[in-house]
């Protein structure tokens, strides 16, 4: 039996459009409605027939849904939840895909019945945005972290988990706070570092921009992919997960100072030990199927 039969997606960008495509493939009988704040995005969604019905207002999109998934930037979650509250059917479950969970859990439960709220975060994405960048296999073999509130109904949690399993994801449960700590180090800090490095290279005066671009295969290029991620989304992530990010940043600065010291004092053993440890971490990520082992990050050279 399908976990849901009428799904409403609010926000039809990368995540929302990927969910729509994945639902079409995995659960073709599910009726889907969608809404996006941008008239241009709604127009594209209609043209590519992303969902069965594109509504001009969020309220019209959710009116007969049994699952509503909010796929908007984290900072817009509360506003959307407030707007749909009056049109939401009493039995509907509301979930989301936001990259931070404690702030979203608070925002949603402030305006919606907490028993029906089941926040979640599919740990899958790309640096692209918009309805045409989504694809049906985005969640396959990736983790979806479901972060129920203390008040979330157990059967609602199970149905949301079953929904994500149908889309090909492996589901794990955590509290919203624990999720935010884990993601601060695995996702938010790496993005902050990439934004910093790419910015630093841009500010250099003694090395020209054309040299930076020409010799980028030395490592810089891989940071530029992450640093090309959506500015609105990432602004909201850092503002919403402030405490956990600041904590991880503090630890990172201390570790960086240790490496700086090892370089200054010519302590090759310290550098070698650290690099050997990190190489083993890379190996376990590949072994667990979370990345490609192909040389040069799987880039094609033909
Ligand atoms: P996206 O491609 O930019 O799509 C977001 C869409 O939501 C945009 O079309 C945006 O329209 C629309 N929107 C903004 N405010 C809205 C509102 N109040 N009502 C209705 N629609 C609204 O972004 P995304 O990558 O799909 O990210 C969506 C969510 O997924 C975020 O919460 C993010 O943290 C989470 N997430 C992202 C990734 C990733 O790698 N990208 C991975 C996992 C989770 P405008 O463009 O006009 O603002």
Dump pLDDT digits (tens) for 176-228: 999 999 999 999 999 999 999 999 988 887 888 888 888 888 889 999 999 99
The whole-number average pLDDT for the span 159-184 is 98
Q: What is the fold, at CATH topology level, of the domain defined by 6-174?
A: Rossmann fold (3.40.50)
The CA 226 to ligand 1 mean position distance, Å, reads: 17
Residue-wise pLDDT tens digits, 44-86: 999 999 999 999 999 999 999 999 999 999 999 999 999 999 9
Domain 6-174 and domain 178-266, same fold? Reply is no
The CA 76 to ligand 1 mean position distance, Å, reads: 9
Q: Is 233 in the pocket of ligand 1 (CB under 6 A)?
A: yes
Cα–Cα distance, 145 to 166 (Å, whole number): 14
The CA 58 to ligand 1 mean position distance, Å, reads: 14
The best mutation among 48, 57, 71 to test binding of ligand 1, ranked by most ligand atoms within 8 Å of the C-beta, falls on 71
Chain center to CA of 211: 33
Rg of the Cα trace of the chain? 21
Q: How far is CA 282 from CA 67, 255, 277, 291, in A?
A: 37, 18, 9, 9
- pTM for the model: 0.93
The dihedral through the CA atoms of 81, 83, 86, 88 has a sign that is negative
Average pLDDT of every residue of the chain: 95
Q: Is 3 in the pocket of ligand 1 (CB under 6 A)?
A: no
Taking CB atoms within 8 Å and a gap of at least 24, the contacts of 105-111 are: 105/147, 105/149, 105/176, 107/77, 107/78, 107/81, 108/70, 108/77, 108/78, 108/81, 109/149, 109/151, 110/78, 111/78, 111/81, 111/82, 111/85
Strands of 125-258, DSSP E: 143-146, 170-173
Q: What is the fold, at CATH topology level, of the domain defined by 178-266?
A: 6-phosphogluconate dehydrogenase C-terminal fold (1.10.3660)
Domain extent listing, the chain: 6-174, 178-266
The whole-number average pLDDT for the span 276-287 is 92
């Amino acid at each position: 039996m399908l976990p849901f039969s009428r799904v409403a997606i609010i926000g039809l960008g990368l995540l929302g459009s990927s969910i729509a495509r994945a639902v079409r493939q995995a659960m073709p009988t599910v009726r889907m409605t969608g809404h996006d704040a941008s008239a241009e995005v709604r127009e594209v969604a209609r043209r590519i027939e992303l969902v069965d019905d594109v509504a001009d207002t969020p309220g019209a999109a959710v009116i007969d849904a049994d699952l509503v998934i909010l796929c908007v930037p984290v900072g817009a979650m509360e506003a959307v939840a407030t707007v749909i509250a009056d049109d939401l059917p009493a039995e509907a479950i509301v979930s989301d895909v936001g990259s931070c969970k404690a702030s979203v859990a608070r925002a949603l439960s402030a305006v919606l019945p907490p028993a029906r709220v089941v926040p979640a975060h599919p740990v899958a994405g790309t640096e692209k945005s918009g309805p045409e960048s989504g694809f049906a296999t985005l969640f396959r073999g990736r983790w979806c972290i479901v972060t129920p509130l203390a008040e979330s109904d157990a059967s609602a949690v199970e149905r949301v988990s079953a929904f994500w399993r149908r889309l090909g994801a492996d589901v794990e449960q955590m509290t919203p706070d624990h999720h935010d700590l884990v993601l601060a180090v695995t996702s938010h800090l790496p993005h902050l570092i990439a934004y910093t490095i790419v910015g630093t290279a841009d500010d250099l005066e003694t090395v020209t921009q054309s040299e930076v671009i020409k010799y980028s295969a030395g490592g810089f290029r891989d940071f530029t992919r992450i640093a090309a991620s959506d500015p609105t989304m990432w602004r909201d992530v850092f503002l919403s997960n402030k405490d956990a990010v600041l904590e991880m940043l503090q630890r990172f600065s201390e570790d960086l100072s240790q490496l700086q010291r090892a370089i200054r004092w010519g302590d090759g053993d310290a550098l070698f030990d650290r690099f050997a440890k990190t190489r083993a971490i890379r190996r376990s990520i590949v072994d667990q199927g979370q990345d490609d082992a192909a040389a040069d990050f799987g880039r094609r050279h033909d």
